[in-house]
C-alpha cells in the first residue's frame, strides 16, 4: 500500500472503509488492544469484548490514573450536522464508558460547529439547534451531567487560541502529508481539534493530566497531529501526550460503505420514525442464501451480515444470546426473514425507551449548553 493510499484510507472526512487494519496500525504506530490490557480496566464493555475497539495509544496512562485515583479527562465530541445515528451512538458509548470508570474522570464534550461549517457549510445557528438534540442523546445514553464540560468550538476562546498559537509549528507540507490535499478551512478545523484535545490540560481545568480520546480509526490523523504539537509545546504548557482508543469503522446497513450521515439509507437515527427504521432493517444486506431451502441446508454467513453486525455492535448485550444466534445462523436453524423481524423488534424497543429517556433530560441539556457544566 503506497503512502497516498494510506492517507486516503485514514481520511477523517471520507466514507472509505479500511481494508487492512494491521498494516495501518504498523504504519502509524497504533498498538493493538490486547486482552491483557483490557483486563486491567475495572469493568468491561461489549465493545471491548467483541473487538469493536481494537487499537490504542498509551491506554496504560489512563489505567494508571484509575489505579492511583488520579484525575483524567475523556475528550471527544460531535459534528452537529444531524440527529444521533448508530455511528454517533458508538463513540458516545465509549466516552460514557471511560467517564464512568472513575469518579475522578471528567468528560469534555465538544460541539464541533466550526468543523460543520467548514466541512458541511452548515451555519452556526443551525448547529446550535442540532446541538441540543445531541446533548439530550448523550444524557439519555448515560452521560453523568455532574462531571462534564460541554462547549461549542466557535464559542470556546481557549480552544481557538490554542489552535492559533500552536499553528506556528505546522507547515503546509506537514499538514498535507497527514490529511492529503484539503481546503484551508478543513486544515484549520484540524488545528481546532488539536485545541479541543488539549483543552482539558490548560490551567483553567487543573493543568496537565492524562486524557483519553475515544475515536474511530479514521480520526487518527487528528490524534497524530495533536500528539506532535503537544510534544513540541511540552515546555510551554507541560502537556502530557493524549491517549486514544480506536474502534473499527462499522459498515452501514448496505454493507458497502462506512456508516455515515452522508448515506441515510445505510443508517438510521435514534429519533427516526419506527416505520422508516423497520424498512431499513428489512432491506439490510445479510449473509443469507438465495432460497430458504438452501439456507436451511447450508446455513447463512453471519460474518458478512449487517443484521448480525447491528446486534453485535449495538443492540444485543448478552454475549450468550449473540453466540447462539451465530451458530444457529451457521447451522441453518434460523433464516433471514425471522431474524430480521426479531432485530426490528429489539431495535424499536430500544429506540422507544431511548426516546422516553431523552425527553426527560431536555431542560438539563439546555442548561448544560448555556452553563457548560453544573
Ligand atoms: S439468519 Fe440472521 S444472522 Fe444469519 S445471515 Fe440471515 S439475517 Fe444474518
Q: Which CATH number covers residue 131?
A: 3.40.50.620
| Ligand 1 contact via 334 beta carbon (within 6 Å) | yes
Statement: the pTM of the whole predicted model exceeds 0.85: yes
Boundary residue ending a domain (199, 219, 249): 249
- Name the helix (H) or strand (E) containing 108: strand 105-111
CA of 336 to the centre of ligand 1 (A): 5
What is the number of the ligand 1 atom nearest to the C-alpha of 326? 3
Full residue range of the structural domain in which residue 110 is found: 3-249
- Check whether residue 38 and residue 143 sit in a common domain: yes
- Check whether residue 237 and residue 329 sit in a common domain: no
What is the number of the ligand 1 atom nearest to the C-alpha of 329? 4
How many domains in the chain?
2
Look at residue 265 in the predicted model and tell me its pLDDT: 82
Q: Cα(251)–Cα(256) distance, rounded to whole angstroms?
A: 7
CATH of the domain at 314: 1.10.240.10
Q: Does some domain include residue 234?
A: yes
Tell me if 98 sits within 8 A of 214, measured CB to CB.
Answer: yes
CA of 338 to the centre of ligand 1 (A): 9
pLDDT under 70: residue ranges of the chain: 1-17
CA of 86 to the centre of ligand 1 (A): 20
| Ligand 1 contact via 311 beta carbon (within 6 Å) | no
- Check whether residue 227 and residue 272 sit in a common domain: no
- Check whether residue 96 and residue 221 sit in a common domain: yes
Tell me if 258 sits within 8 A of 16, measured CB to CB.
Answer: yes
| Ligand 1 contact via 242 beta carbon (within 6 Å) | no
Q: Whose CA is nearest to atom 7 of ligand 1?
A: 336
- Check whether residue 26 and residue 112 sit in a common domain: yes
Q: Does some domain include residue 372?
A: no
Query: Cell numbers of 352, please?
Result: 422507544
Q: Cα(250)–Cα(88) distance, rounded to whole angstroms?
A: 11
Q: Does some domain include residue 368?
A: no
What is the number of the ligand 1 atom nearest to the C-alpha of 308? 3
Distances from the Cα of 170 to the Cα of 162, 167, 200, 226, angstroms: 13, 5, 22, 11
Helix, strand or coil for residue 326? helix
- Check whether residue 230 and residue 273 sit in a common domain: no
Look at residue 258 in the predicted model and tell me its pLDDT: 78
CA of 58 to the centre of ligand 1 (A): 37
Nearest alpha carbon to residue 215 among 176, 247, 192: 247
Among 301, 325, 329, residue to substitute to test ligand 1 (most atoms within 8 Å of Cβ): 329
Boundary residue ending a domain (249, 272, 289): 249
Query: Cell numbers of 128, please?
Result: 446550535
| Ligand 1 contact via 200 beta carbon (within 6 Å) | no
Tell me if 61 sits within 8 A of 40, measured CB to CB.
Answer: no
- Check whether residue 272 and residue 133 sit in a common domain: no
Look at residue 19 in the predicted model and tell me its pLDDT: 74
- Check whether residue 24 and residue 52 sit in a common domain: yes
Query: Cell numbers of 112, please?
Result: 464541533
Distances from the Cα of 196 to the Cα of 11, 157, 281, angstroms: 19, 11, 36
CA of 339 to the centre of ligand 1 (A): 6
- Name the helix (H) or strand (E) containing 199: none
Look at residue 12 in the predicted model and tell me its pLDDT: 65
Boundary residue ending a domain (188, 217, 249): 249
Q: Whose CA is nearest to atom 6 of ligand 1?
A: 336
Q: Does some domain include residue 48?
A: yes
| Ligand 1 contact via 284 beta carbon (within 6 Å) | no
Amino acid at each position: 500500500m503506497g503512502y497516498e493510499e494510506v492517507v486516503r484510507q485514514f481520511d477523517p472526512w471520507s466514507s472509505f472503509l479500511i481494508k487492512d487494519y494491521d498494516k495501518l496500525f504498523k504504519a502509524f504506530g497504533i498498538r493493538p488492544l490486547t486482552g491483557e490490557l483490557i483486563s486491567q480496566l475495572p469493568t468491561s464493555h461489549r465493545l471491548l469484548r467483541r473487538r469493536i475497539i481494537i487499537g490504542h495509544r498509551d491506554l496504560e496512562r489512563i489505567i494508571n490514573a484509575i489505579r492511583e485515583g488520579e484525575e483524567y479527562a475523556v475528550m471527544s465530541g460531535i459534528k452537529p450536522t444531524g440527529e444521533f445515528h448508530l455511528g454517533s451512538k458508538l463513540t458516545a458509548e465509549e466516552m460514557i464508558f471511560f467517564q464512568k470508570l472513575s469518579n475522578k474522570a471528567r468528560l469534555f464534550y465538544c460541539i464541533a460547529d466550526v468543523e460543520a461549517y467548514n466541512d458541511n457549510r452548515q451555519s452556526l445557528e443551525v448547529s446550535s439547534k442540532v446541538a441540543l438534540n445531541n446533548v439530550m442523546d448523550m444524557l439519555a445514553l448515560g452521560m453523568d451531567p455532574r462531571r462534564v464540560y460541554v462547549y461549542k468550538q466557535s464559542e470556546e476562546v481557549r480552544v481557538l487560541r490554542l489552535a492559533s498559537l500552536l499553528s506556528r509549528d505546522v507547515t503546509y507540507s506537514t499538514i498535507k502529508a497527514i490529511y492529503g490535499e484539503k481546503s484551508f478551512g478543513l486544515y484549520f478545523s484540524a488545528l481546532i481539534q488539536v485545541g479541543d484535545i488539549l483543552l482539558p490540560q490548560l490551567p483553567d481545568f487543573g493543568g496537565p493530566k492524562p486524557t483519553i480520546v475515544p475515536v474511530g480509526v479514521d480520526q487518527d490523523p487528528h490524534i497524530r497531529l495533536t500528539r506532535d504539537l503537544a510534544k513540541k509545546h511540552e515546555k510551554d504548557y507541560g502537556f502530557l501526550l493524549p491517549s486514544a482508543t480506536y474502534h473499527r469503522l462499522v459498515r452501514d446497513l448496505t454493507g458497502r460503505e462506512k456508516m455515515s450521515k452522508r448515506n441515510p439509507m445505510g443508517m438510521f437515527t435514534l429519533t427516526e420514525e419506527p416505520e422508516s427504521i423497520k424498512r431499513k432493517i428489512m432491506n439490510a444486506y445479510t449473509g443469507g442464501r438465495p432460497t430458504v431451502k438452501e439456507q436451511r441446508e447450508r446455513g447463512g454467513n453471519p460474518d458478512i451480515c449487517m443484521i448480525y453486525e447491528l446486534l453485535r455492535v449495538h443492540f444485543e448485550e448478552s454475549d450468550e444470546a449473540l453466540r447462539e444466534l451465530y451458530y444457529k445462523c451457521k447451522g441453518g436453524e434460523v433464516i433471514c426473514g425471522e431474524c430480521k423481524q426479531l432485530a426490528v423488534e429489539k431495535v424499536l424497543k430500544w429506540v422507544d425507551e431511548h426516546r422516553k429517556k431523552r425527553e426527560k433530560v431536555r431542560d438539563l441539556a439546555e442548561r448544560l449548553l448555556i452553563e457548560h457544566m453544573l
